[in-house]
Amino acid sequence: MHPPARMFHQSGQEDLGLRGTISPVGHGTRSTHIENGGQAGLCPKPLVRSEGHQMNIHDHTAFQVSSLDQAIEFYVGKLGFTLASRAENAAEQEAYAFLVLGDLRLELIQDLRHPAHVKPTIQPPYCPHLAIQTADMAQAVARLEETGVTILRGPLEIEGEESWVYFCDPDNNILEYIQWYRKK
SS (H, E, C) the chain: CCCCCCCCCCCCCCCCCEEEEEECCCCCCCCCCECCCCCCCCCCCCCEEECCEEECCCCCEEEECCCHHHHHHHHHHCCCCEEEEEEEECCCCEEEEEEEECCEEEEEEEECCCCCCCCCCCCCCCCCEEEEEECCHHHHHHHHHHCCCEEEEEEEEECCCEEEEEEECCCCCEEEEEEECCCC
Q: Is the pLDDT of residue 158 over 80?
A: yes
- Integer angstrom CA distances of residue 151 from 13, 104, 137, 140: 23, 21, 13, 12
- Mean of pLDDT values over 145-172: 96
More confident: 25 or 57: 57
pLDDT band for position 58 (cuts 50, 70, 90) = confident
- Mean of pLDDT values over 96-121: 93
- Integer angstrom CA distances of residue 120 from 7, 63, 72: 30, 11, 19
Quote the mean pLDDT of the chain: 78
Q: Is the pLDDT of residue 36 over 90?
A: no
Model pLDDT, residue 18: 44
Quick: pLDDT tens for 142-156: 999 999 999 999 999
Model pLDDT, residue 48: 56
pLDDT band for position 116 (cuts 50, 70, 90) = confident
Domains and CATH numbers, the chain: 18-180 (3.10.180.10)
Q: Is the pLDDT of residue 79 over 90?
A: yes
Which of 2-16, 28-42, 113-127 shows the highest mean pLDDT? 113-127
